Amino acid sequence: MAFNSADTAAFKNVWVFCEQRQGVMMPTTFELISEGRKLADELGVELCGILLGDNVDGIANELGGYGADKVYVYNSPLLKDFTTDAYTKVIVEAVEEFKPEVLVFGASNIGRDLAPRCAARLHTGLCADCTHLDIDMPNYKGFLKEVSTLPAERIEKLGTVMINREPHSVERDLKMTRPAFGGHLMASIICPRFRPAMATVRPGVMKKREFDAAKAESVEILHPAFNLTAEDIKTEVVEVVKAAKKMVDLIGADFIVSVGRGISKDVEKGIALAEELAEVLGGVVGSSRACVDSGWISADHQVGQTGKTVHPKVYVALGISGAIQHKAGMQDSECIIAVNKNENAPIFEVADYGIVGDLFKVVPLLIESIKAAKEAK
């Protein structure tokens, strides 16, 4: 029977696109598999990974360790390097064959390219750049009570929407939440009329589960037949050139020292102080967008809505005012320390420790005392 994305009852299971590059799984994949496990449990269905590449069976089991029940593996020399044409064709055909009800991608460059094209071919909806996903209504309502300004009684009444003038229960719909209007609003979006419900999810937002070695052993690996020829691919990857510069690993860091426009008095010194503080803490340097836009630091350091979402053990904000778009990327840090000369700066609203003062005076004292404490050990 022809594929019909509007026949919602025909779709089952949660799928995660498992992004690998040159045979190495991208860390976001494990975050998405972990989150996918939660969604699949809430729906009472299986969690499946879809993995494309050339000879990638060796990395498929790992997905089981983070919660996948099954992995659909598509191996071909034509899938070795990512091309939009080849990956779209294989994923679309797989979805048409197996009909998952939810399909999630990482919001990486590849995911952002691939997911909308697949959604258009499948004639379904895609919510891009999500920061939160829910199925279960009580969980979703709990989330809204925690983060939204909606009155509790209004939240409690949520659960039904009108579709084609008929009431529709959103009980089994994927609730996809993402920042909207420049981060001033959070919007929750559903795709009630078509399947799969598709989302891209920001890297670093979802938490990775503990690795379960037994589950990695027992995950079912499948190799469905598929059709892909060189004629399907209109582009040719001539060479893969890795960036010569090492990008800062903000997402994996336990300690981040971020600089903001407050360093403007002496940018070089401000960054040097942040680097020194990061070094004594064993961490890395991040920044607000203001510093990136001013050309003081490269974009891979940016934390926030249009930068990276981080949750380190300790986040130190130096001369950062705490705009909503910055806070969106760091407010889930375990401990936030802010240094700002304005005692009314909004960053202090999310800070566990606030130091009102000039960062150029405060940071050298912090470095000195951390070094002294380390030596005293």
Ligand X SMILES: Cc1cc2nc3c(=O)[nH]c(=O)nc-3n(C[C@H](O)[C@H](O)[C@H](O)COP(=O)(O)OP(=O)(O)OC[C@H]3O[C@@H](n4cnc5c(N)ncnc54)[C@H](O)[C@@H]3O)c2cc1C
Residues of the shown chain interacting with ligand X in the complex, contacts defined by CB under 6 A: 182-183, 260-262, 265, 288-290, 302, 304-307, 319-321, 323, 325-326, 329, 339-342, 345, 358-360
> What one-letter code names the amino acid at 279?
E
Nearer to ligand X, 53 or 260 (CB): 260
Residue 271 beta carbon to ligand X: minimum distance, rounded to whole angstroms: 13
Nearer to ligand X, 82 or 360 (CB): 360
**Which residue has 């197996």 as its token pair?**
98
Cis omega (within 30 of 0) for bond into 192: no
Q: How far is the CB of 295 from ligand X (least distance, A)?
A: 14
Closest distance to ligand X from the beta carbon of 300 (Å): 12
Q: Which is nearer to ligand X, 78 or 339 (CB)?
A: 339
Nearest-10 Cα torsion for 109, 94, 177, 31: -60
Q: How far is CA 87 from CA 14, 27, 108, 163, in A?
A: 19, 19, 15, 33
Q: Which residue is at the shortest CB distance from ligand X?
A: 304
DSSP tag of 302: B
Element (H, E) at 330: none
How many secondary structure helices (H) and strands (E) does the chain include?
12, 19
Smallest distance, ligand X to C-beta of residue 30, A: 24
> Of 29 and 302, which has the nearer Cβ to ligand X?
302
- CA angle at 330 for the pair 329 and 331, rounded to the nearest 5°: 110
CB of 283 to ligand X, least distance (A): 18
Of residues 16 and 338, the one with the C-beta less far from ligand X: 338
Q: How many CB atoms lie within 10 A of CB 36?
A: 28
Least Å distance, CB 336 to ligand X, is: 14
**Please, which residue, 60 or 320, has the CB nearer to ligand X?**
320
